[in-house]
Amino acid sequence: MREAYPVERAVGIEQFVSDAEGVGGRLRESPEDFRVREVERFEAEPAEADVDSYPYLVVRATLREWDTNDFARRLSDDLGISRERVSWAGTKDKHAVTTQLFTLRKVDSTDLADVSIYDAEIEVVGRAGRDLQFGDLAGNEFEIVVRNPDRPENASEIRDQLREWAGDPLAVPNFFGQQRFGSRRPVTHEVGLRVVREEWEEAVRAYVANPYESEPEASREARRAVADHFADRDWEAALEATPKRLGFERAMLSALAESDGNRPEDFRTALEAVPSNLQRLFVNAAQSYAFNRILSERLARGLPFDRPVAGDVVCFAETVDGLTVPDPGRSQRVTDNRVETVARHCERDRAFVTAPLVGTETELGDGEPGDIERAVLDDLDLAPADFDLPGEFHSTGTRRAILVRTDLGVGSGVDGGGEESGDDDSGTALTFDFALPKGSYATVLLREFLKLDPADE
């Protein structure tokens, strides 16, 4: 297997499954080249439904180059409400055109009349009795264009190698993608690991004062200045050195400036100054990093991903609008005498082998899969009990499918609307059409085909 790039190995992804050279090319040349639409399973009542019984307004937003958190903040500002009253089921890529649902607590459809947000189309869907949650998302449909591929003919060979590895339809390891950890600055899991160890000051430092070569020079300079101010606890100077565009960093530093900024609880309060979903993401990223490490070790040992071995834990799956969605809530431990029976369920996509997203209630596997899980957690100095934390940092954990399957369509054409123009100077393009269950990353599938260094994107 081919070795992954350094920035991928930094987040626990060690290998590629396919050995063929990638098609290369350019990804996300424009936001329109990366389109995402949610596969929804959230029931809404008509917009005229009683507000007292259905206090949540449900809207569908199509966003061009908007970070989900930033859009939620802008929408709440325009509506004059708290950001916490805006909810959604899944965070989407910023450099894309995305379509997803949002719920707005105690907002009327008429309140949207004066809302005008650049590159955002908002459509009222109806009303609901509760807010959107992660479980309300079945998956996402993708249409992704790769411009000027160097070796477009290699797409077929890569597809064949992936099918040879784990059968048909093709599959890839269900790694967490770079954006889980920060595409330009992959530090979210580093923050999370320190949170889980209750190293509150080091967690704040890792987020606000840890420059990366891949971010703009102005940001690196600001972080270096903040690092200097940590020593003398001059939080006002640190805040002044931090540009306004680094909003979450400024929120943490503002909280430190308002407190003594010396006690462990001051740093925990600073971490709690960012939105609750980002607080959860810190811990989730630590779990995701451990998960990626477990999958990489399983690949290195040559254990199968498409069928179980003794000691594995599998989860069963459901179908939503033709999309197969693993359900970690329905799981089964695989004993020696059940391996073949469960393998047949996996062959029919009725069950998937899982690995842990470790938390307080996580049960680890047995046999060799369990040995891998425990070895990775030991190396990271993590244990399920460590996730018994205050507030949004607490996590009970779960398990997650280690394989993601999809029916992949690959088409070729010419840049500029996707139609043949007869212009010999036009570059070629490949279009990838597929759907993935919630929590799985399009970039993880595409990395097998493009084999581009994420640091260069």
Report the top-level CATH class of 188-274: mainly alpha
> Alpha-carbon distance 191 to 271, whole Å?
10
The domain 43-131: what is its CATH number? 3.30.70.3160
Q: Where are the alpha helices (DSSP H) in 310-399?
A: 339-347, 367-379
> Alpha-carbon distance 61 to 56, whole Å?
15
Judged by phi (left if over 0) then psi (alpha if -120 to 50, else beta), residue 257 lies in alpha
pLDDT attached to residue 457: 67
pLDDT attached to residue 420: 37
Answering whether pTM is above 0.85, one says yes
pLDDT attached to residue 277: 84
Bridge-based pairing of strands 120-128 and 351-357 is unpaired
> Alpha-carbon distance 28 to 214, whole Å?
17
For the question of residue 114 being annotated catalytic, the response is no
Per the residue annotation, which of 33, 52, 67, 93 is the catalytic one? 93
> Alpha-carbon distance 18 to 16, whole Å?
6
Ranges of each domain in the chain: 6-33+139-170+406-456, 43-131, 188-274, 278-404
Output the tens digit of pLDDT for each of the chain's 457 residues.
899 999 999 999 999 999 999 999 999 999 999 999 999 889 999 999 999 999 999 999 999 999 998 999 999 999 999 999 999 998 888 899 999 999 999 999 999 998 999 999 999 999 999 999 977 999 999 999 999 999 999 999 999 999 999 999 999 999 999 989 987 789 999 999 999 999 999 999 999 998 988 888 999 999 999 999 998 899 999 999 999 999 999 999 999 999 978 899 999 999 999 988 899 999 999 999 999 999 999 999 999 999 999 999 999 999 888 899 999 999 999 999 999 999 999 999 999 999 999 999 999 999 999 999 999 999 999 999 999 999 999 999 999 999 999 999 999 876 554 443 333 445 689 999 999 999 999 999 999 999 999 877 6
pLDDT attached to residue 53: 96
HSE (side-chain half, CA atoms, 13 Å) at 370: 13
pLDDT attached to residue 455: 79
245 in helix, strand or coil?
Answer: coil
Q: Where are the alpha helices (DSSP H) in 234-275?
A: 235-241, 247-258, 264-271
Asked if residue 122 lies in contact with residue 86, where contact means CB atoms within 8 angstroms, the answer is no
pLDDT attached to residue 66: 95
Residue 171 β-bridge partners: 405
278-404: CATH topology is Pseudouridine synthase (3.30.2350)
414 in helix, strand or coil?
Answer: strand
Q: Which tokens is 21 given?
A: 């050279």
Eight-class DSSP state of 175: P
